[in-house]
Amino acid sequence: MPSSDPGPALDRVRAICLALPGSIEKLSHGIPAFAAAGRMFAYFRHNHHGAQHTDVCVRTGSRDEQAMLIEQAPALYSWPAYIGPAGWVAIDVTPSTTDWDHVADRIAESWRLATSRTSRRTRA
């Protein structure tokens, strides 16, 4: 069961996201969201729709990458409601053993995907 206080995890996610160039934080659908170049690259969710965990949602490079991550590490990655069809994954940051370097790497890659010129094109 997740901590009743998501504050420490949010503080870490916030620090990682806001350290990336041009990043801003805003509320989106009532949850903390992070954007750069006008595009979202991370969402922080705690007990979202009653899920018993805290996660950060990030972009992936493709639906194949999304499926591979979820298949290879189902305890870490999951399909996020609403944004999963667009290739996003949720990373569980509930455990006290969370690998924050790994989370930071995935957030940075999501930022790169959101801010790259090619990501603005419609994907096939």
Of the candidates 103, 119, 98, the residue with the CA atom closest to the CA atom of residue 39? 119
Domain assignment of residue 42, yes or no: yes
Residue 50 pLDDT > 70: no
| pLDDT at 49 (0 to 100) | 65
Q: For the segment 51-106, what is each residue's pLDDT rounded down to a tens digit?
A: 678 999 999 999 999 999 999 999 999 999 889 999 999 999 998 899 999 999 99
Q: What is the pTM of this model?
A: 0.89
Task: Round to whole Å and give the CA distance between 16 and 107.
Answer: 8
**3-class DSSP state for residue 61?**
coil
Q: Is residue 71 part of a domain?
A: yes
Q: Which residue has the higher pLDDT, 113 or 7?
A: 113
Q: Classify residue 85: in a domain, yes or no.
A: no
Say how many C-beta atoms besides its own lie within 10 A of residue 63's C-beta: 13
User: Is residue 1, in this structure, part of any structural domain at all?
Assistant: yes
Query: pLDDT at residue 3 above 70?
Result: no
Is residue 15 in a domain?
yes
Range of the domain at 32: 1-77
**pLDDT above 70: percentage of residues in the chain:** 89
Token pair, residue 32, equals: 């903390």
**Domain membership flag for residue 68:** yes
Q: Quick one: angle between helices 100-115 and 7-18, nearest 10?
A: 50
On whether residue 26 sits in a domain, the answer given is yes
Q: What is the mean pLDDT of residues 26-33?
A: 93
User: What is the 8-class DSSP label of residue 48?
Assistant: G
pLDDT, residue 53, reads 82
- Total tally of structural domains belonging to the chain: 1
Q: Tell me whether residue 117 is in a domain.
A: no
